[in-house]
Amino acid sequence: MDDARYRELVRKDLAHWVHPLSHPSDHQEPLLYERGEGIYLYGHDGQRYIDGLSSLWNVAVGHGRRELAEAAARQMERLAFNSSYVGSSNEPAIELAAKLVELAYDNMQAVFFGTSGADSNETSFKTARFYWAMKGRPGKVKVISRVEGYHGTTLACMSATGMSMYYPNFEPRVHEIVPAASVEPMPSGGARIDPGNNNVDNIAETIEREGPETVAAVIAEPVQGGGGVHPPPPDYFRQLREVCDRYEVLLIADEVITGFGRTGRWFALEHFGVLPDLMSVSKAITSAYMPLGASVWSREVFETITGADPSVKFMHGYTNSGHAVAAAVALRNLAIIEEEGLVENAAARGEQLLNGLMLLGENRYVGNVRGLGFMCGLDLLQDPENDVPFDEEMRMGVRLRNACQRRGLITRIRGDSFVLAPPLVATAEEVDAILTIVEEGVKEVTGNL
């Protein structure tokens, strides 16, 4: 793109578009993406970049997939949209609901469609309340959430998000959504995890304190993503399931990032042999070729809610629920994931990526190398042995991100945590290319310390 056109677009962008998580001062020289192919993105600057985070953890099958464009076009020509409100339906969304139930945990029965991760979580929260009301316990309304969890930025989801940087000027949060530990800013922008997040005691204590008769659900990401990629200790989710059962509280798995193969299994709680009651999904369900999300319900939740008296309606709905084009794209996308063995590829390439990052751990400033499947993270630390962060002013995470971007790798940081989640189609050679760039970037930013 020529410079004059770029400048004109940036001027209009700054004048008319309020970006997510933004201040205009951070948007003076935005990277304008022009096209994508496979794991690569091409910018206005003529550069090719590896999409190291699958954009926003969502472009699972890679960019530029003609099959998905064709699936969308076919459905648009036939029927782009119909109401999915009660009494009307459409073929792709019906087939997708059945397919999701086939792929999801054994106890799952039905789905409620939305268009995003946040609205899927909203549906899960409201479903938990509705379920308990149907059980004759309408006082069970609260949702307990975890430190460093990310669940979206609607008012309820922001309240469940355990990162303080999302709250300023949007308070008060929804009081019935209760963090399981205090959400304080963490050193160095907050990346490393409060040890309290690694055992379930604070969840049990919070339920006790609030009163189990007031608590509807606990929400948790199987692997925390936005918080900086934090896989749980192996026994965490089994214990969390026990706590939920003990206090008669539903478990909502927020699999908006982890769903559809990201961790090397279709859904991440498979790693731990745990079944949730509700599951929120989005992102890789369409590989982001169309906006789509869903709250997936267990048989018990479904039968309790649909078994109510006909006068008791589930009065929750979005115009774009069960959008025919999004559903057609999702069906084709899930078929690609199956046909190309991308869940298995995520497991194998994830192991390669993690092993490569572990070698970087030999650098004296790299610590906490971690990952599950194709979701990995590491921290830059002044003293990794003792978990001592760099001074915030040094902005080590930003420097590493920039060093990688200059070398053609785009990804994300949280404080001084650096995370990677490449498209599930990445090959062994492409993972090696990512590792080479990260190694060079780490050397650059730690070289003269």
Question: Which residues make up the interface to ligand PLP (CB under 6 A)?
Answer: 56, 116-118, 121, 150-152, 221, 225-226, 254, 256-257, 282
> What value, to the nearest 5°, has the Cα angle with vertex 120 and ends 36 and 422?
30
Q: Which is nearer to ligand PLP, 121 or 298 (CB)?
A: 121
Q: Which is nearer to ligand PLP, 90 or 121 (CB)?
A: 121
* Smallest separation, CB 159 to ligand PLP (Å): 13
* Smallest separation, CB 47 to ligand PLP (Å): 25
Among 379, 329, 292, 405, smallest CA distance to 31 is for 405
Q: Which is nearer to ligand PLP, 217 or 445 (CB)?
A: 217
The amino acid sitting at 317 is: G
* Smallest separation, CB 295 to ligand PLP (Å): 12
Measure the CA–CA gap between 131 and 138, rounded to whole angstroms. Answer: 9
Measure the CA–CA gap between 353 and 240, rounded to whole angstroms. Answer: 29
Q: Which is nearer to ligand PLP, 399 or 414 (CB)?
A: 414
Tokens of 302: 């479904």
Return the axis-axis angle of helices 236-247 and 201-210, rounded to nearest 10°.
20
Q: Which is nearer to ligand PLP, 124 or 202 (CB)?
A: 124
* Smallest separation, CB 72 to ligand PLP (Å): 19
Return the axis-axis angle of helices 342-360 and 428-446, rounded to nearest 10°.
30
Q: Which is nearer to ligand PLP, 255 or 416 (CB)?
A: 255
| C-alpha torsion 13→15→19→25, nearest 10 | 100
* Smallest separation, CB 151 to ligand PLP (Å): 5
Give the H/E segment covering residue 280: strand 278-281
* Smallest separation, CB 388 to ligand PLP (Å): 28
* Smallest separation, CB 173 to ligand PLP (Å): 16
Residue showing the smallest CB distance to ligand PLP in the complex: 117
Q: Residue 221, SS3?
A: coil
Q: Which is nearer to ligand PLP, 279 or 378 (CB)?
A: 279
Return the axis-axis angle of helices 324-339 and 342-360, rounded to nearest 10°.
70
Tokens of 68: 């998905």
* Smallest separation, CB 433 to ligand PLP (Å): 25
Measure the CA–CA gap between 383 and 287, rounded to whole angstroms. Answer: 38
Q: Which is nearer to ligand PLP, 145 or 282 (CB)?
A: 282
**DSSP label at 246?**
H
Q: Which is nearer to ligand PLP, 39 or 256 (CB)?
A: 256
Q: Which is nearer to ligand PLP, 104 or 134 (CB)?
A: 104
Give the H/E segment covering residue 118: helix 117-134
* Smallest separation, CB 406 to ligand PLP (Å): 26
Measure the CA–CA gap between 272 and 248, rounded to whole angstroms. Answer: 21
Tokens of 131: 């379920």
CB 218 within 8 A of CB 142: no
> What value, to the nearest 5°, has the Cα angle with vertex 297 and ends 293 and 299?
155
* Smallest separation, CB 263 to ligand PLP (Å): 12
Q: Residue 274, SS3?
A: coil
Measure the CA–CA gap between 167 and 21, rounded to whole angstroms. Answer: 11
Beta partners for 278?
A: 252, 297
